[in-house]
A and B are shown apart, each in its own frame.
Chain A
Amino acid sequence: MTRQFSRRKFIFGTVGTAAAAAAARLAAKVSGESLLQGNAPRPHGPHSDAVAGPVGTVDHARNGFHPVELLTDFDYGDRVYEENGRTVREYDLVAFDKEIELVPGVFFPAWTFNGRVPGPTIRCTEGDLLRINFTNAGTHPHTIHFHGIHPAAMDGVPISPNMVNMPRDLTGPGMLQPGESFTYEFDAEPFGCHLYHCHAIPLKRHIHKGLYGMFIIDPKEGRPPANELVMVMNAFDTNFDNANEVYAANTIGFAYMDDPIPVRVGELVRVYLMNIVEFDLINSFHLHATFFDYYDHGTTLEPTLRTVDTIIQAQGQRGILEFRYKHPGMYMFHAHISEFTELGWMGMFHVTEGDETVSHDNHRNHGS
């Protein structure tokens, strides 16, 4: 910015440059300081009683979901049945508009799947047949696009007008208008930690308004029992200037600072982690005081990275973390992007001594 030495303008002096600041400090040293500032160094700002973080508490009941419950809320299907010797899992997903409190007192006009952000964590086993009954009860056209292996007609992408002559079996139904329904049907493959999201245009808006969720396909042989947690790293642009004001894991900023996640010393913790922030190129996850193995995309049974404490994920990237805590205590986890951290994406594990077999029995991937 340029600086104008207008005596009228600078009264409100909101324009500043580092050079001017430096010049001001220099000038203060040689002339004005003794006059106006005194010679002794002045304390400035509080150091002991400065408190970071938001003020107040979020009304989770009003939101209709609690971030602690989202961690372990795996959805194995609204209807599960056998068909030609295969397990069929049927899910009902409804898109509708809903206001959500993101940090205390700040409300966001979200677009949701089933009234929550992130949407339900769809969980199944490799080889299952999935039927996703999607109804658009919102005010804008929507789709569901699953990351996975499936026919083009089930890909949930919009059809642009210049694709009008393209056969529908190659494009699918395109965007579903408010009031319309469609059933996406496909096989669950490959196993891994995936995601689904609305692919309607304008894409950025449809994603950052909240239309996304995690999609876990367990390998046939399963994974070792563990305390399993879902963390969807997301962010919200509350003033619609294409930059985010709130960052979080599972929507509510600072949620796991208020409600630390209980973990036992020595138990295996498995975090299904995905990044769905808009506007920022990457997000990251950093764990305090222990190290983890990382399975990028979750599509392998062997870790793709061993013994790390920080990973980065691009938009839409995801993976599985596995770790154990050696010592009891409170341990932070957060994006190692300080800006995101201080804008809400931070939390705590509360690690206690105890019988690790008491550990959460949420690895029920054969559940009915």
Chain B
Amino acid sequence: MTTTETTDLKRDKLRLPLWLLALLPLAALAITLIIFLTTNPVSIFTAEAPPIEDLQVQRVELDDAGILVSVINNGPDPVTIAQVLVDDAYWNFSVAGGSTLDRLDTAGIRIAYPWVEGEAHEILLLSSTGVTFPVEIPVAIATPTADGRQLLSYALLGVYIGIVPVTLGLLWYPVIRQTDRRWMNFFLALTVGLLVFLAVDTLFEALEIAATVPGAFQGQPLVILVTLLTFLGIVAVGSNRRQRDSMLFLAYLIALGIGFHNLGEGLAVGAAFALGEVSLGTFLVVGFTLHNITEGIGIAAPVARQRPALYHFVLLALLAGGPAIVGTWIGGFAFDPLLAAIFLSIGAGAILQVVYEVARLVVRSSQRDGVPALSWTNIAGLVAGIAIMYLTALLVA
């Protein structure tokens, strides 16, 4: 007994303050790194190896002054842009802030080149070690400037692919309202189907954009993590609301998730027009308009047994369709792959959360009716929802 007490006392005396203990591993880490860097044990591998150079092109803009190429140094070593070749010819250029880029530095390369509208150009960035980084311009067209007229034109595209179809879809609300209760479950299951498709589609879109993000930002893991955290975050926020409001609240959540999805579609259309792919853009506008009309059904289904005021429908349509306008602006004037990937991940997480909510609704409603959750009606609704989305997506795929 006494022996134990003394050891405890001793231990107490020897005990260091907690903050010091917490810093101990960090201090050890710092010492290890200093030893590693000073002794440089990897020098054996890099005796004569040239630096690793990795420039990634972020954006190409064409205007009356020529071409502006925005790049980021995605490699571990500094890169010096020594010369610029356009269509296999050396051209004068200037780099704001100097032509040597450290890791993750960005730079704008200004080239006074008389580009030809509607034709293709290829730029080669030649580094000081002779490494080349190609920059493709598939169709040269003046990059839209964000003046009032252009913003309005792009906004109109967003209205066509977002607000118009969602509003038209909401016009089915009276039909859904007047159907039999059993059909109500069908419509909710259909909503789950629509949303499952949108979640998968948004996630893949985010992953594809993330693949073009500079490696250091770990785009694809980021997409998965943001999706997951968004899902959990909204579940947590939505878990303690009152039952009476919950249907309308759910409709708003669905509208929000769909809004993020439509933002992604707006990005696609805006970028297509900005890149001069007008025919593709026109084709996409029509496709998305048809594709998105079913989104209105998904928003309306949860509130079929309630009678929300008209302004709620206006707000729901704006929430679900409006982000398409923001998407066309970003896609057209300021496309940034990292931001786009994050937006779409948030969208995927938000849609997954409403999938979870509406699915719970279907289960509860089926239990009340004394039918299994996976009744033929529900399965038919789910499959119908996915099939409608898949088939209308053929219009834009």
Contacts and interface: CB of A to CB of B under 8 A. Distances in A.
Interface of A: 5-16, 18, 20-21, 23-28, 31-33, 35-37, 42-47, 49-56, 102-108, 236, 238-239, 241, 245, 253-254, 339, 342-344
The CB with the most chain A CB atoms within 10 A, among B63, B64, B67, B126, is that of: B126
Contact of A44 (B115, B138, B283): B115
B138 A13 contact: yes
Nearest to B136: A14
Interface stretch (B165-173, B201-209, B367-375): B201-209
A101 to B, nearest CB: 9
A344 B90 contact: yes
B180 interface: no
B273 A36 contact: yes
A288 to B, nearest CB: 19
A105 to B, nearest CB: 3
Interface string B44-76: 000000000000000000111111000000000
Interface string B99-117: 1000000000000111111
Interface of B: 62-67, 80, 82-85, 88-94, 99, 112-120, 124, 126-132, 136, 138-142, 144, 150, 153, 156, 204-205, 208-209, 212, 265, 267-268, 271-273, 275-284, 331, 335, 337, 340, 396-397
Contacts of B276: 24
10 contacts: A10-B277, A12-B337, A37-B141, A44-B64, A44-B115, A45-B115, A55-B93, A104-B82, A238-B131, A339-B89
Contacts of B80: 105
A343 B90 contact: yes
A301 B59 CA distance: 59
Given A54-B90, A344-B90, A21 B139 contact: yes
B268 A16 contact: no
A106 B277 contact: no
Given A7-B284, A31-B282, A238 B126 contact: yes
Given A106-B83, A238-B131, A11 B280 contact: no
Given A32-B281, A245-B126, A25 B118 contact: yes
B333 to A, nearest CB: 12
A341 to B, nearest CB: 8
A117 B65 CA distance: 38
B132 A11 contact: no
B91 A53 contact: yes
A55 B118 CA distance: 28
Nearest to B156: A35
B82 A106 contact: yes
A165 to B, nearest CB: 37
A134 B164 CA distance: 81
A28 to B, nearest CB: 5
Contacts of A238: 126, 129-132
B396 A239 contact: no
B144 A36 contact: yes
Given A5-B280, A52-B91, A253-B90, A13 B130 contact: no
The CB with the most chain A CB atoms within 10 A, among B84, B93, B278, B280, is that of: B278
A239 B396 CA distance: 40
A45 B93 CA distance: 14
Nearest to A340: B88
A54 B111 CA distance: 11
B90 A13 contact: no
Contacts of A6: 397
Given A50-B113, A107-B128, A107-B129, A8 B268 contact: yes
Contact of B90 (A14, A23, A42, A53): A53
A6 B128 CA distance: 37
B290 to A, nearest CB: 14
